[in-house]
């Protein structure tokens, strides 16, 4: 029987969108004024023979393990023939890794991807290089939705609600359109757009870029921003909202937050209702997801389903461990919170957080607010470490809701769809949170026959 709490992490659900996608070839972006990257590796550590060996191993691992035996309609043998001569002609490790990223992107699966040695180190350390702001598409435009304190962007006066109009002297909308026309489609269009934003803005630490933003009043902010290395360790935000409803935000299903989440939930157990904010949650591992889900159920409850390329459970260590095709959360006496729950989601809600939201929704345990999630819901059994330090991840498990609805590509559809506008960002309003709080508060009041809202307790 598979036990998620076992020291061995038998199933990882990748941190999708929290960190740069490694599944697609890097897009051609305008040149940045790059400085030498601290601690950068030499341009080439692998010999030509090493690269070819790594290429064949990566191709073979995908051939053996990818969850879809039809490879999403891709002729995998033809892919080998297509990329082998390109790999042999590669002149550097960077060029080689770019080819492997493009090869994995041919499968149109955000979880099947290659990370360079540097990318993998940053992921393990919960680090990432950026300019300190996050973009989303708001009212059809690339809009700043978050700015990190003390970042290059914050110091330059970048604020939520500003629209990015030019990047390195190119219209940003043109860069996005050009990238979308050449990008290999991933798990969903929502994942594609976020990936395009990331790839256009990406660059090495300490490199600079000229960026122009449009303020809500039509004026512009023309600045040069320097990319910095940021640390984003898993953490939890807990508070009581003005209505008395409890609020918890956490951005990764990681072992480091499990005990903290449990304590946060205990501290809010007397709150009349609870909001879980997963709008920045890009995933995590199953060994954290299932125990957290279990805190909301009074008994063992079917929470998710999965399937593999063979249709049989994945086993480990000679059958000592097994990932069943039906996964359950909760047990007698294990429920920590009984009140109604609302979950906030959006396109950046991905992977493990989509499994969690879908399970809570279909069991009737929570109501979902926000916008459609990423639709990036394939499980990675283990990372394949390759010579030279790169890491290959392969989607091996297809996840579904308790009722058997496939999540990959579609994601979670909110019960109440609501998205922030430019005006909301400028006014520092959060309409998704406000609506969830309003709905929960209304449901807690004595209900008439005209008020059909019910919540499982």
Q: What is the DSSP letter of 318?
A: G
Torsion of CA 226, 136, 276, 435, to 10 degrees: 130
Which residues make beta-bridge pairs with 315? 322
> Is the pLDDT reported for residue 379 higher than 50?
yes
Q: What is the mean pLDDT of residues 118-126?
A: 93
Q: Where are the domains of the chain?
A: 12-34+45-124, 127-231, 236-378+395-442
Q: Report the percent of the chain where pLDDT is more than 90.
A: 82
- pTM, to two decimals: 0.88
pLDDT tens digits for range 135-153: 999 999 999 999 999 899 9
Which region among 86-100, 168-182, 293-307, 320-334 has the lowest average model confidence (pLDDT)?
320-334
CA 103 to chain centre: 21
Q: By the 8 A CB rule, do 161 and 143 touch?
A: yes
> Is the pLDDT reported for residue 266 higher than 50?
yes
Domain 127-231 in CATH 2.30.42.10: yes
What class does CATH assign to 12-34+45-124?
A: alpha beta
**CA–CA gap between residue 310 and residue 394 (Å, rounded):** 15
pLDDT band at 451 (very low <50, low <70, confident <90, very high): very low
Note the pLDDT of residue 9: 39
> Is the pLDDT reported for residue 26 higher than 90?
no
**CA–CA gap between residue 413 and residue 21 (Å, rounded):** 23
> Is the pLDDT reported for residue 455 higher than 90?
no
SS3 state at 196: helix
Note the pLDDT of residue 441: 93
**CA–CA gap between residue 79 and residue 60 (Å, rounded):** 11
> Is the pLDDT reported for residue 40 higher than 70?
no
What class does CATH assign to 236-378+395-442?
A: alpha beta
Structure tokens given for 331 = 């047990």
Q: What is the mean pLDDT of residues 410-430?
A: 95
> Is the pLDDT reported for residue 33 higher than 50?
no
């Amino acid at each position: 029987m598979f036990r998620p709490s076992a020291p061995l992490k038998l199933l990882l659900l990748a941190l999708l969108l929290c960190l740069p996608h490694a599944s697609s070839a890097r897009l051609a972006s305008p040149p940045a004024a790059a400085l030498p990257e601290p601690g950068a590796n030499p341009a080439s550590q692998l010999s030509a023979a090493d690269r070819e060996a790594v290429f064949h191993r990566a191709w073979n691992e995908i051939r053996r393990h990818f969850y879809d035996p039809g490879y999403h309609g891709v002729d995998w043998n033809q892919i080998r023939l297509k990329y082998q001569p390109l790999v042999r002609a590669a002149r550097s490790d960077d060029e080689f890794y770019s080819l492997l990223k493009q090869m994995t992107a041919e499968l149109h699966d955000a979880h099947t991807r290659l990370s360079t040695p540097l990318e993998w180190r940053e992921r393990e350390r919960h680090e990432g290089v950026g300019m300190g702001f996050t973009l989303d598409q708001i009212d059809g435009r690339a809009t700043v939705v978050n700015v990190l304190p003390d970042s290059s962007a914050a110091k330059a006066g970048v604020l939520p609600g500003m629209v990015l109009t030019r990047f390195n002297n190119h219209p940003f909308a043109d860069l996005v359109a050009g990238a979308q026309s050449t990008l290999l489609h991933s798990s969903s269009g929502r994942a594609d757009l976020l990936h395009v934003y990331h790839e256009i803005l990406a660059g090495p630490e300490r490199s600079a870029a000229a960026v122009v933003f449009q303020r809500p009043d039509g004026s512009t902010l023309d600045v040069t921003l320097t990319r910095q290395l940021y640390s984003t360790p898993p953490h939890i935000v807990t508070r009581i909202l003005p209505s008395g409803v409890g609020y918890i935000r956490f951005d990764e299903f990681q072992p480091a937050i499990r005990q903290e989440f449990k304590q946060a939930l205990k501290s809010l157990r007397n709150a009349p209702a609870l909001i879980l904010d997963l709008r920045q949650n890009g995933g995590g591992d199953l060994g954290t997801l299932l125990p957290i889900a279990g805190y909301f159920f009074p008994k063992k409850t079917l929470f998710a389903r999965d399937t593999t390329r063979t249709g049989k459970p994945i086993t480990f260590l000679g059958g000592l461990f097994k990932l069943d095709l039906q996964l359950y959360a909760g047990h007698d006496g294990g429920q920590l919170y009984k009140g109604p729950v609302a979950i906030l989601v959006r396109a950046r809600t991905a992977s493990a957080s989509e499994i969690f939201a879908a399970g809570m929704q279909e069991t009737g345990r929570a109501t979902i607010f926000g916008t459609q999630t990423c639709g990036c819901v394939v499980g990675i059994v283990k990372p394949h470490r390759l010579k030279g330090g790169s890491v290959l991840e392969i989607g091996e498990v297809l996840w579904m809701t308790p009722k058997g609805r496939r999540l990959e590509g579609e994601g979670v559809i909110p019960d109440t769809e609501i998205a922030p506008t430019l005006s909301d960002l400028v006014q520092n309003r959060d309409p998704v949170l406000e609506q969830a709080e309003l709905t929960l508060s209304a449901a807690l009041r004595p209900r008439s026959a005209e008020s059909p809202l019910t919540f499982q307790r």
